[in-house]
């Protein structure tokens, strides 16, 4: 077959295919007259796995309501919620879009986890748009922080956690995992960036001139719900690498609503600050308990398998507690250290 004939045959073949294609499509339509139009191709998203190694483990979560506590109690009568806990949707990279990555981040490792409609909802559950109702000056301050997080030409552009400061409220609840311990008269939260005591003995708040990173917490139990009033903010903590904040005048009313099987709780908090926000707003964060049955990792369950050198075989793993030290500077956030992109 010479070149011109080959081209002619190929052209005829293509012509037949183009002519036949509408007929074949029409025949298919006859078989499936109500078939829906094909959806536009979407980028594949990695399925999330509860109990997996990553910080993002859920895109939706069950709602737990306040009610009677039927689970075990501590010796002084509190619902026993002691153990290792962690949020289930993401860390503090992005406050209002938890799985949306870090804003303006040039590092390709920290991108959004799929399309927005497939990512976890905003932690701001009221108002409905999922955004903090900032006053104009405060919103400008947040946007300025976001623009300079990777170009920290001033100290205020460096996130406090990168300087080993306490995470503040509510960020401490979605930074790393943490441990809850209970004692007569108080509940103790142990974060890897500090501790927080919630007093249950009815004492009044600290004097106004005393300011704390995690505020001053006074609480009581209502059935399965730990109700906490938080004042005395120092106005320095941020809610995430996205720069949202509360001032020294802020007031937080928290509700930790635990499931009676002791496996989960829902954190709901109303934040008020007339010097920063146009109205109070609500934050919702899901959390679950981590036990020795889960694979230990530094994100959620801050222990690690111990090296055992004895001769007797162990039936149960030995878990060593990580030393609670600031680890933020080990990463490349805020241009404080170099970080190689993943391959």
Instruction: Check whether 22 has a pLDDT greater than 90.
Output: no
pLDDT tens-digit map of 114-135 = 899 999 999 999 999 999 999 9
Distance CA 193, CA 335 (A): 20
Residue 131 is encoded by which pair of tokens? 């955004």
Q: Which residue has the tokens 């910080």?
A: 55
Residue 288 CA to residue 270 CA, distance in Å, equals: 21
Q: Which residue pairs from 292-297 have beta carbons closer than 8 angstroms and sit at least 24 positions apart in sequence?
A: 292/316, 292/317, 292/319, 294/51, 295/51, 295/53, 297/53
Q: How confident is the model at residue 287, as a pLDDT? A: 96
Handedness of CA 38, 41, 44, 47 (dihedral sign): negative
Confidence (pTM) = 0.80
User: Residues 284-299: pLDDT tens digits?
Assistant: 999 999 988 887 777 7
- What is the 3-state composition of the chain as percent helix, strand, coil, each rounded to the nearest 5? 20, 25, 55
Please indicate whether residue 339 or residue 123 has the higher confidence score (pLDDT): 123
d(CA 187, CA 197): 6
The Cα–Cα gap between 308 and 313 comes to 9
97 closest CA partner among 122, 60, 131 = 122
Residue 4 has pLDDT above 60, yes or no: no
């Amino acid at each position: 077959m010479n070149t011109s004939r080959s081209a002619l045959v190929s052209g005829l073949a293509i012509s037949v295919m183009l002519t036949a294609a509408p007929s074949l499509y029409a025949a298919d339509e006859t078989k499936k007259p109500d078939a829906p139009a094909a959806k536009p191709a979407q980028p594949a998203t990695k399925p999330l796995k509860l109990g997996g190694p990553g910080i993002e483990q859920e895109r939706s979560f069950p709602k737990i309501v306040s009610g009677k506590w039927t689970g075990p109690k501590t010796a002084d009568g509190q619902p026993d919620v002691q153990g290792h806990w962690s949020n289930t949707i993401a860390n503090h990279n992005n406050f209002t879009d938890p799985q949306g990555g870090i804003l303006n981040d040039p590092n390709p490792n920290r991108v959004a986890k799929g399309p927005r409609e497939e990512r976890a909802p905003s932690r701001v559950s009221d108002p409905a748009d999922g955004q903090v109702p900032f006053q104009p000056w405060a919103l400008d301050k947040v946007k300025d922080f976001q623009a300079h997080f990777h170009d920290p030409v001033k100290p205020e552009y460096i996130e406090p956690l990168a300087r080993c400061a306490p995470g503040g409220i509510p960020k401490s609840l979605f930074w790393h995992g943490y441990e809850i311990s209970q004692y007569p008269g108080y509940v103790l939260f142990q974060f890897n960036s500090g501790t927080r005591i919630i007093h249950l003995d009815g004492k009044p708040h600290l004097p106004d001139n005393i300011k704390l990173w995690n505020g001053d917490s006074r609480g009581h139990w209502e059935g399965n719900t730990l109700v906490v009033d938080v004042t005395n903010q120092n106005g320095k903590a941020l809610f995430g690498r996205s720069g949202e904040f509360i001032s020294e005048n802020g007031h937080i009313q928290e509700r930790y609503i635990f499931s009676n099987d002791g496996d989960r709780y829902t954190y709901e908090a109303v934040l008020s600050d007339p010097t920063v926000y146009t109205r109070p707003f609500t934050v919702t964060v899901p959390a679950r308990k981590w036990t020795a049955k889960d694979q230990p990792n530094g994100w959620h369950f801050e222990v690690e398998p111990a090296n055992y050198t004895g001769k007797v075989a162990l039936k149960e793993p030995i878990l060593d507690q990580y030393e609670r030290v600031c680890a933020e500077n080990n990463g490349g956030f805020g241009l404080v250290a170099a970080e190689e992109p993943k391959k």
